[in-house]
Amino acid sequence: MMPERIAFTRVFASAPIGRSVFHMLQNTFPEFDVDIFDITRLLKKYPLTIAYNGLLTAGLYGQDILQRYKRPRSSFLATPYLHRKVNDLVRQAIYQNPSRYRFTFQLQSLFDVSLPDLPHFIYTDHTHLANLAYDGFHPRSLYSPEWIALEKESYARATHIFTRSHNISRSLIEQYDVPAEKITCAYVGVNTPQVNYTPPSDRYNSKHILFVGLDWERKGGPELLAAFQQLLQRHPDARLTIVGAKPEIDLPQVTVVGRVSVAEVHHYYQQASIFCLPTKLEPFGVAFIEAMTFQLPIVATNIGAIPDFVANNQNGYLVEPGEVKPLVDALDCLLSSAHRRQLFGQTGYEIARQRYNWEAVGQIIRNKIEEKIESSRIYDRQTVR
């Protein structure tokens, strides 16, 4: 009897991207059922493992955590011990399941959950060493050499790797020695519910800038605020709305919303006429794609995956991170022209519609998985395993 299921592994059950990828797999491979294996939920069943890894984390990264080079939670997930332990636990969970699997599909690359007898695919928006490309990233923020070696091994064991952007594809090739033919940039869809949105005729008459991000400092919030304060002198009717983060701000024309549900973000995209997120470090930045689906022109930084979807002077402007004056100039160009805001917004929408949707992503992934499985004769429907 042929296997009829896919084993899908993700780290966090609550992350929106995990739900989106699960539904993508369901829709892309309707002939298979998709079983989910959540790593953090699995670990909760083993309190001694958690306690022991906590001690190892303190010993391995404690000094860097205290000096704020590393964050406690991410460091906890990046010990060599936990990397190996997760592989064992997921393997046991899959093998204990009576179902037979056609292949395993892993979201992100913090761990290696490959099995020796199954084709294994990784879909990721990051590599750890890609962080070295960002200004201000300190070498002490890197995880241990042993953990990085395990990360490299996980890429070597994968049947194929799907990335969400070309900068991560380059990192795999240049920093991890992964052959280019083993990598496919499949892009990514949005995590917010899809809507058919037609902007009202007067939408671009307003000068309404939107910021969406939880990490105010890392996402470039202080630089945006400094730029907006200068822009008010030229555009006293401009407005800025901040969604996600909740900084203390006492400036006219600024509204701080704080955290909202994923569905509620729609309202703020619809009300804005410009999207600005001058982030300093970004694995991908799905908020940009969400903004583009709502036909917003973009002002962003020239880092990471962002140049994949923001074409300078076509659907937005790219500036260098951490600098206020270029941000002022870019926003001024958009605030000064309703026609440019509309034109850039429409161009960005077409980019998002054609490339950054889960149906398109799924088709790229399915085509490559079928090719890889067929080439290894595992996907031969005449073969009984």
Reported as a single tens digit per residue, the pLDDT across 265-309 is: 889 999 999 999 999 988 788 899 999 999 999 999 999 999 999
Encoded tokens for 170: 């380059």
Looking at the predicted structure, is the pLDDT value of residue 13 above 50?
yes
Q: What is the pLDDT of residue 384?
A: 39
**Residues 289, 216: Cα–Cα separation, whole Å:** 19
Q: What's the CATH number of domain 203-355, 1.10.3370.10, 3.30.70.100, 3.30.70.370, 3.40.50.2000?
A: 3.40.50.2000
Name the phi and psi angles at 37, rounded to 5.
-120, 105
Residue intervals of the chain classified under CATH 3.40.50.2000 are: 5-189+357-375, 203-355
pLDDT at 377: 54
**Confidence at residue 14, expressed as pLDDT on a 0 to 100 scale:** 85
Report percent pLDDT > 90 for the chain. 80
Q: 185 phi and psi, to 5 degrees?
A: -80, 110
Residue 367: pLDDT over 70: yes
**Cα–Cα distance between 214 and 219 in angstroms, integer?**
8
Superfamily grouping for domain 5-189+357-375: Glycogen Phosphorylase B; (3.40.50.2000)
139-171 pLDDT, tens digit each: 999 999 999 999 999 999 999 999 999 999 999
57: tokens are 């984390």
Here the tokens at position 253 are 């024309």
pLDDT at 193: 62
CA-to-CA distance for 347 and 3, rounded, in angstroms? 44
- pLDDT over 50 at 382, yes or no: no
Question: 366-379 burial by CB neighbour count: b if 16+ within 10 A, else e?
Answer: bebbeebbeeeebb
Mean pLDDT of 114-134: 93
pLDDT at site 66:
96
H helix intervals, 67-79: 72-76
* Residue range 107-119: mean pLDDT, rounded: 92
pLDDT digits (tens, 9 = 90+) for 177-197: 999 999 999 999 887 666 667
In this predicted structure, what is the pLDDT of residue 194? 62
Q: What is the CA radius of gyration of the chain?
A: 22
CA–CA dist 240, 208 (Å, integer):
6
pLDDT mean over 240-266 = 92
| pLDDT > 70 in the chain, percent | 95
Q: What share of the chain is helix, strand, coil (3-state, %, to 5)?
A: 45, 15, 40
pLDDT in tens, 65-106: 999 999 999 999 999 999 999 999 998 888 887 678 999 999
**pTM of the predicted model, to two decimals?**
0.85
CA distance 283 to 15: 15
What is the Cα 196 distance to its own chain's centre?
A: 23
At 110, the amino acid letter reads L
Q: What is the per-residue pLDDT for 383? A: 43
What number of H helices and E strands is found in the chain? Answer: 14, 12
Q: State residue 379's pLDDT score.
A: 43
Q: Are the C-beta atoms of residues 293 and 265 closer than 8 Å to each other?
A: no
| Distance (Å, whole) CA 79 – CA 61 | 9
